[in-house]
Amino acid sequence: MFYRPEDGHGLPHNPFNAIVSPRPIAWVSTRGPDGSENLAPYSFFNAVAYVPPQVMFASTSAKEDRPWSKDTMFNIRETGQFCVNIVEYAARDAMNATSGPWPKEQDEFAHANIERAACDTIACSRVANAPASLECRLVRIVDLKGAHNFMAIGEVTGIHMRDDCVVDGRFDVTTYEPLARLGYRDYTRVSELFSLTRPGQ
């Protein structure tokens, strides 16, 4: 099968997300200029640089009570900071509960009964029991082609790792099984690893 996206795929559901998978999930926490807090998951997410460490995530829709994007991107544009919390398999239901199109006044930490903790390098809350949290200062917001498509790039200024996830000096993802997004309504988790050695190393 071949199709041009502008012509449509002719299938019951868009296969694009299923093709580009699995994708890690950024559970992004922000604080608005009015002090309100927001927590929402984004699966267009990844690390993009080592030195200094930087991550990106993209938001691809808008809400009726925001003029151009979602609460997360609005808060980041206003404050210049955000925190990426890593989602473990055990938190899948709580993460999903924060994904709804809730009013901008809604505090998703409270809505999903998620314990929060203060960040150290930015004025924002993080998910207290997350396997890891990346405190970020905004590098830039990139306007992508298409309505409501924006990518935020942040420099990681602080990293929290849960003690039980560090085993023999390594951050061990099998201790918490990271949740990843597939296509449609499908997800997966990482439960086993294998290693490959690059040629010449």
pLDDT tens across 144-155, in order?
A: 999 899 999 999
Instruction: Identify the band that residue 62 occupies on the pLDDT scale cut at 50, 70 and 90.
Output: confident
pLDDT in tens, 82-98: 999 999 999 999 999 99
Residue 66: the pLDDT is: 77
Residue 171 near residue 99, CB atoms below 8 Å: no
Residue 65: the pLDDT is: 79
Instruction: Identify the band that residue 30 occupies on the pLDDT scale cut at 50, 70 and 90.
Output: very high
Separation CA 129–CA 186 (nearest Å): 24
Residue 63: the pLDDT is: 80
Q: Residues 118-122: what's their mean pLDDT?
A: 98
Q: Does position 14 have pLDDT exceeding 80, yes or no? A: yes
Q: Which pair of tokens denotes residue 27?
A: 């559970």
Residue 52: the pLDDT is: 98
How far out from the chain centre does Cα 65 lie?
Answer: 22
Residue 182: the pLDDT is: 97
CA distance to 102, 105, 149, 150, 162, per residue, from 145 (Å):
26, 29, 7, 9, 38
pTM for this predicted structure: 0.95
Q: Residues 60-65: what's their mean pLDDT?
A: 84
- What counts of helices (H) and strands (E) characterise the chain? 4, 14
Residue 32 near residue 80, CB atoms below 8 Å: no
